[in-house]
Structure 1
Amino acid sequence: MNKKKSFLALCIGIFFILNTDAQTVNDTLNAPKAVLPNVYADPHIAVFGKKFYLYPTTDGTVGWASTQFTCWSSKDLVNWKSEGTILDLPRDLSWAKARAWAPAIAKKNGKYYYYFSADVNIGVGISDKPTGPFKDALGKPLIPKGALKGQMIDPMVFVDDDGAAYLYFGQGNCNIVKLNDDMISYDASKIISFKPPGYNEGSFVFKRNGKYYLMWSEYDTRDPRYSVAYATSHSPMGPFVKASRNPVLKGKGIVKGAGHHSVVQVPGKDEWYIAYHRFKIPDGNGYNRETAISPMRFNDSGEILPVDVFEKLKKVKIKN
Structure 2
Amino acid sequence: MRSIPFSVFLLLLGTWLSGPARAQRWPADTLHAPAAALPGLYADPHLAAFGSTYYLYPTTDGIAGWGATSFTCWSSKDLVKWTNEGVILDLPRDLTWAARNAWAPAIATKGGKYYFYYSAAQSIGVAVADRPTGPFKDPLGKPLVAKSQFRGQMIDPMVLVDDDGSAYLYWGQGQCHAVKLNPDMVSFDPAAVIEFKPPGYNEGSFVFKRQGKYYLMWSEYDTRDPRYSVAYATAASPLGPFTKATKNPVLKGRGVVKGAGHHSVLQVPGTDQWVVAFHRFHIPDGNGYNRETCLAPLRFDAQGNILPVDVFEPVKPTKIKAAGKRR
Q: How would you bin the TM-score normalised by the shorter chain?
A: over 0.9
DSSP-derived class of the 1:262 partner: strand
Distance 1:87 1:35 in 2: 21
Distance 1:222 1:96 in 2: 24
Q: How does 1:146-185 map to 2 (within 5 A)?
A: 146-185=148-187
The equivalent residue for 1:66 is 68
The equivalent residue for 1:313 is 315
Deviating runs (4+, > 4 A) in structure 1?
23-26
Q: How many residues align?
A: 299
Q: CA deviation at 1:109?
A: 1.3
Q: CA deviation at 1:183?
A: 0.1
DSSP-derived class of the 1:27 partner: helix
Q: CA deviation at 1:25?
A: 6.2
Distance 1:179 1:298 in 2: 29
After superposition, give the CA deviation of every residue in 1:56-88 in whole Å (9 maximum; x if it has no partner): 000001100000000000000000000000000
Distance 1:127 1:134 in 2: 5
Structure 1 residue 88 corresponds to structure 2 residue 61: no
Distance 2:40 2:320 in 1: 27
Q: CA deviation at 1:27?
A: 2.2
Structure 1 residue 217 corresponds to structure 2 residue 190: no
Distance 1:67 1:27 in 2: 36
Distance 2:245 2:48 in 1: 25
The one-letter code sitting in structure 2 at the alignment partner of 1:282 is: P
CA contact (8 A) 2:295 2:314 kept: no
1:239 paired residue among 220, 231, 241: 241
The equivalent residue for 1:261 is 263
The one-letter code sitting in structure 1 at the alignment partner of 2:44 is: D
Q: 1:53 to 1:68 in 2, by over 3 A?
A: same
DSSP-derived class of the 1:131 partner: coil
Q: CA deviation at 1:90?
A: 0.2
CA contact (8 A) 2:63 2:290 kept: yes
The equivalent residue for 2:191 is 189
After superposition, give the CA deviation of every residue in 1:11-46 in whole Å (9 maximum; x if it has no partner): xxxxxxxxxxxx896521100000101100000000
Q: How does 1:19-38 map to 2 (within 5 A)?
A: 26-38=28-40
CA contact (8 A) 2:258 2:280 kept: yes
The one-letter code sitting in structure 2 at the alignment partner of 1:169 is: W
1:75 paired residue among 77, 81, 85: 77
1:275 paired residue among 271, 277, 282: 277
The one-letter code sitting in structure 2 at the alignment partner of 1:62 is: A
Structure 1 residue 114 corresponds to structure 2 residue 116: yes
The equivalent residue for 1:12 is none
2:292 paired residue among 266, 269, 290: 290
After superposition, give the CA deviation of every residue in 1:79-105 in whole Å (9 maximum; x if it has no partner): 000000000000000000000000000
Q: 1:219 to 1:180 in 2, by over 3 A?
A: same
DSSP-derived class of the 2:191 partner: helix
In the alignment, structure 2 segments of 5+ residues that lack a partner are 1-24, 323-327
After TM superposition, the score normalised by the length of structure 2 is 0.90
Q: 1:130 to 1:24 in 2, by over 3 A?
A: farther
Q: How does 1:124-143 map to 2 (within 5 A)?
A: 124-143=126-145
Q: CA deviation at 1:319?
A: 0.3
Q: CA deviation at 1:312?
A: 2.3
The one-letter code sitting in structure 2 at the alignment partner of 1:253 is: G
Identity of aligned residues (%): 70
The one-letter code sitting in structure 1 at the alignment partner of 2:30 is: T
After TM superposition, the score normalised by the length of structure 1 is 0.92
In the alignment, structure 1 segments of 5+ residues that lack a partner are 1-22
Distance 1:313 1:241 in 2: 29
